[in-house]
Structure 1
Amino acid sequence: MENIKKILQNFKIQESDYSIYGENIAKINITKNDLSKKGKLILMTSINPTPAGEGKTTTAIGLSDGLNLIGKKAILALREPSMGPVFGRKGTATGGGESEVLPVDDINLHFTGDIHAITAANNLISATIDSEIYWKSNLNIDHNKVVWKRCIDLNDRALRDIEIKISKTISRKEHFTITAASNIMTILSLSIDENDLRWRLENALVAYSKDGKEIFVKDLKIVGALMIILKDAIKPNIVKTKYNTPSLIHCGPFANIATGTNSIISTKLGLSLGDYCVVESGFGSDLGFEKFMNVINYHNDLIPDCVVLVVTIRALNLHNDFENNFKHLEQHLKHVSLYNLNLVVAINFISGDDNEQLKKLKHWLEENNYNYEMNEAYTNGAEGAKKLAIKVDEIANKKFSFKRLINDNDSIEEKIKKVVNNFYYLTNFTFSDKATEKLEDIKKTAYKNYPVCMVKSFASIDGNDAKLENYNLEIKDLEVNTGAKFIVVYTNQVMSMPGLNKEPNSKDMDLINNIVVGLK
């Protein structure tokens, strides 16, 4: 493996523009690098995943390695793993086999401390709110109307709903989220530079006063302290794959609650440095891809030059696609066609896949004129993704006429309707009384033109995980995330604080002779 310094030199990044964290990790100073777009953006998505996942990360890593193998200058951009899932059930988020980003242990554990900084910044806001209440400051905060939540980067179900004692006479209900689902994580991931981060922090809504006035972080007078805590966390981290492809790993917002993609800063940095920047969006195209197109691109020009949709035989079997003529797969493919984007289907090969089913899938794709290629990077590394890289390089250079689904002048209801109709394939939906009241309140504010960020289960395309007859999608609640600049729309009940399973991965981990073992 090449030293990270050599890789940075290959991309003409000067030593004064980065900081080294050991031999294989560095942070890049964004203020000293030109973030104007030069390369092409490749966006990874998938069909609804099995519990084991569909290998989007493995495919993204393999594709990046494959592109470099065929002589292209490719950079990978991924989300940073949360320690909650690493110690829980889901495990690591750095690929596998011959398609990995390294060093696996560091990336999945403390890495460069970004998630710890995000946790500290988030909780400093909470501590300050409660201090203002304790000292009965002139902000006159209503302790029953605090909307900001504490966070921790672990799966701890006991912290979901608790009661905290602020003073002898004042107590309030508190709710913890996992750090990946926190407001600061979303704010940092959507910031385009330090000035934008400061603005988002200043204007993040945290509570209401006793006379109904909105209270923002700027009213707490701690924005400067927050900027100090986040001064290094805003800088993208760069590591490398097994095949020495530079890999930006920065921020990790959840996709079923927030945007589900790495930071805008790291994506723009990747596009400024390489011919290609390969970005992974979270879960299936009904979540990560939808939010990339309708939330992230609501305020930014990050239109994918090619979308790669990952499928596996095991997921197609889970959704009964071999019995219903690939209906589930076709629904996801239509999501991409809504925007007239270039598309390649990546068949992520898993040892033991049924050859007859593979033939049937390929025949259907050919019959319906979809571009596709096999990905065997897990077992064969860069060489196993070479054919996929050639196909993506070909398709990404084709002209396309991008069209938006959601427009600036669409009402909140129209924005929700377009997502529900075109992504969930549901004709009707209803608002609860609570959601209706919130909707009318938001319409009276300056936030009414924000994009909508849908909260939905990842397991099914319409959120009907229980497969109920006469299913009705109900909008249960709405709230404005003023720092992120979007309206959160709750459909399914999605947990923002996971719990540990009965036999979590943490029970199999150890440090032996200073080597981490048991990471899965």
Structure 2
Amino acid sequence: MEKIMEVLQSFNLKESDYNLYGKNIAKVNASNIKVNKKGKLILMTSINPTPAGEGKTTTAIGLSDGLNLIGKKTILALREPSMGPVFGRKGTATGGGESEVLPVEDINLHFTGDIHAITTANNLISATIDSEIYWKSKLNIDPSKVVWKRCLDLNDRALREIEISINKTIKRKEQFTITAASNIMTILSLSTNEKDLRNRLNEALVGYTFDGKEVFVKDLAIVGTLMVILKEAMKPNLVLTKYGTPSFIHCGPFANIATGTNSIISTNLGLTLGDYCVVESGFGSDLGFEKFMNVINYYNDLIPSCVVLVITLRALNLHKDFENDFKHLEQHLKHITSYNLNLVVAINVIDGDNDNQLKELKDWLSRKNYFYEVNEAYEKGASGAKKLAEKVNEVANMEFTFKKLINNNDPIDLKIEKVIKNFYYLENFKISETASAKINNLKNSKYKDYPICMVKSFSTIDGNDLKSDFYTMEVKDLEVNTGARFIVVYTNKVMSMPGLNKEPNSKRIDLVNDLVVGLK
């Protein structure tokens, strides 16, 4: 309690600016604080991760601790963990070793109830849609043309496609997404303030009438209730790392099916209160980084002063980079340099790393003139990230001239082509008849200039998970998320509702003497 109070006081916040949630957590009312971004943004990304991840979160935490250690007032901004991956394959999302945000159990399980509020708001919309259909209201909603999906914060493959009965005669197909992939999650994460959230909720498309007219959330007359449900969820959650770095953990959209970055509100708050704000984008640079540059920055001025690409020898071996002259690594580096951004490679060392391979990697980076540094924060905490922090501080203060890849008024098919060719390195791809028809319809709509949010597998850079010699990426379908204000582009087979793996983490977690065990 004393530590978190010290941090709140260092921000010059009044008691009306925050609420305490126990001893280690506070919610900050960002609407009381004037956005005056003076800090520099540091964006964390990585190569395509192994199933265990690359340690992006661990490195982001360690780097933030290291920057504070060298005297730079640094705020960390992370996504909030979803209980789906916590109970599934990936586990916790709060770092590890000496590089953790605390309290681990609370953050990974329920936290301050934000995800529950998002789930409830999202499903109230679904319940209201079906009620309007049941009562045959003047909205005249066609049950076969409902586009709004229910959600749940768990991995549950059985709910991907179901049939629901509104009454004895009216049935309709329904889909569940995991809450992190829901419309309300992206709407809240992209909102800049309360007014913007209300506008986005009003504009969110839910379906069509029998004569083809659009039906929006505002037509359901529940936006006021949704604002009440999301009242506290709008406020960023403040916790501390083991070494006392202030950390805003707020919103958690996935990067393979959504934007993959914490809330705009928490990022702007971090940039207002700190010299640096360290932000993590999900999965590899082919997903989280791409969307940060082309979707997040479509509406926001959040160009990073430095991008940190996290790599491990474990993942480089998975991608056979020591046999292929680091081809996979170089593709990810090119993602960043194509925007003319400052770049530092963070080598996240793991116990048992091969010394000869580490030397080979360093030699290659030096020959190619990339800035790099080793991160040892997992074992050594802030001091283990000191050299990385010094390098990032140096590079973040170098001049650069940002270059855009996608223009706002590029046609939809050109936006798709630019991402596939420049991020997935595929010259040839196909667009299904369904997707092509929707692209043509959107070209003449009010949504034609929206950015595109690609849905793609995270394990390979091109989406070719089966490593097939006959692979061609297919753009399968599109849908417009009018509340988040982007066009979702589906490629190949990517599920917005994950399933549990054969031996999920939920079989190892327990409560012993009032302590949570097995969570890590």
Q: TM-score range by the shorter chain?
A: over 0.9
CA apart distance, 1:338: 1.1
CA apart distance, 1:15: 2.0
CA offsets per residue over residues 447-486 of structure 1, 9 Å max, x none?
0000011111001111111112242211111111100100
Greater displacement, 503-512 / 65-74: 503-512
Is the contact between residue 3 and residue 23 of structure 1 (CA under 8 Å) also seen in structure 2? no
Name the structure 1 match of 2:35: 35
CA offsets per residue over residues 63-96 of structure 1, 9 Å max, x none?
0000000011001000000011111221000000
Is the contact between residue 67 and residue 74 of structure 1 (CA under 8 Å) also seen in structure 2? yes
What is the one-letter code of the residue matched to 2:135? W
Name the structure 2 match of 1:483: 483
CA apart distance, 1:12: 2.0
CA apart distance, 1:2: 5.2
Cα distance in structure 2, aligned partners of 1:19 and 1:436: 49
Cα distance in structure 2, aligned partners of 1:293 and 1:424: 15
Cα distance in structure 2, aligned partners of 1:400 and 1:95: 31
Cα distance in structure 1, aligned partners of 2:489 and 2:501: 28
SS at structure 2 position matched to 1:385: helix
Name the structure 1 match of 2:84: 84
What is the one-letter code of the residue matched to 1:492? N
Name the structure 2 match of 1:56: 56
Aligned length: 520
SS at structure 1 position matched to 2:278: strand
Name the structure 2 match of 1:191: 191
Query: Which stretches in structure 1 are left out of the alignment for 5+ residues?
Result: none
Tell me the TM-score normalised to structure 1 length: 0.99
Is the contact between residue 38 and residue 275 of structure 1 (CA under 8 Å) also seen in structure 2? yes
SS at structure 2 position matched to 1:196: helix
Name the structure 2 match of 1:282: 282
Name the structure 2 match of 1:235: 235
Cα distance in structure 2, aligned partners of 1:197 and 1:349: 41
What is the one-letter code of the residue matched to 2:418? K
Cα distance in structure 2, aligned partners of 1:160 and 1:354: 42
CA apart distance, 1:329: 0.3
Name the structure 1 match of 2:46: 46
Name the structure 2 match of 1:506: 506
Is the contact between residue 203 and residue 216 of structure 1 (CA under 8 Å) also seen in structure 2? yes
4+ residue segments displaced more than 6 Å: none
Cα distance in structure 1, aligned partners of 2:287 and 2:48: 9
Cα distance in structure 1, aligned partners of 2:73 and 2:212: 54
Cα distance in structure 1, aligned partners of 2:451 and 2:475: 16
The reply to whether residue 166 of structure 1 matches residue 175 of structure 2 is no
SS at structure 2 position matched to 1:477: strand
SS at structure 1 position matched to 2:373: strand
What is the one-letter code of the residue matched to 1:158? A
Q: RMSD across aligned C-alpha pairs, in angstroms?
A: 0.9
State how 1:346-357 maps to structure 2 within 5 Å: 346-357=346-357
SS at structure 1 position matched to 2:309: strand
Is the contact between residue 2 and residue 244 of structure 1 (CA under 8 Å) also seen in structure 2? no
Cα distance in structure 2, aligned partners of 1:501 and 1:49: 17
The reply to whether residue 223 of structure 1 matches residue 223 of structure 2 is yes
Name the structure 1 match of 2:340: 340
What is the one-letter code of the residue matched to 1:67? L
The reply to whether residue 461 of structure 1 matches residue 461 of structure 2 is yes
Query: Which stretches in structure 2 are left out of the alignment for 5+ residues?
Result: none
What is the one-letter code of the residue matched to 1:419? V
Tell me the TM-score normalised to structure 2 length: 0.99
Name the structure 1 match of 2:4: 4
What is the one-letter code of the residue matched to 2:264? I
Cα distance in structure 1, aligned partners of 2:394 and 2:307: 12
Name the structure 1 match of 2:101: 101
Name the structure 1 match of 2:137: 137
What is the one-letter code of the residue matched to 2:177? T
Cα distance in structure 1, aligned partners of 2:118 and 2:136: 27
SS at structure 1 position matched to 2:86: helix
Cα distance in structure 2, aligned partners of 1:294 and 1:432: 23
Cα distance in structure 2, aligned partners of 1:215 and 1:395: 49
Greater displacement, 48-57 / 492-501: 492-501
CA apart distance, 1:356: 0.2
Cα distance in structure 1, aligned partners of 2:509 and 2:474: 42
CA apart distance, 1:512: 2.1
Name the structure 1 match of 2:331: 331
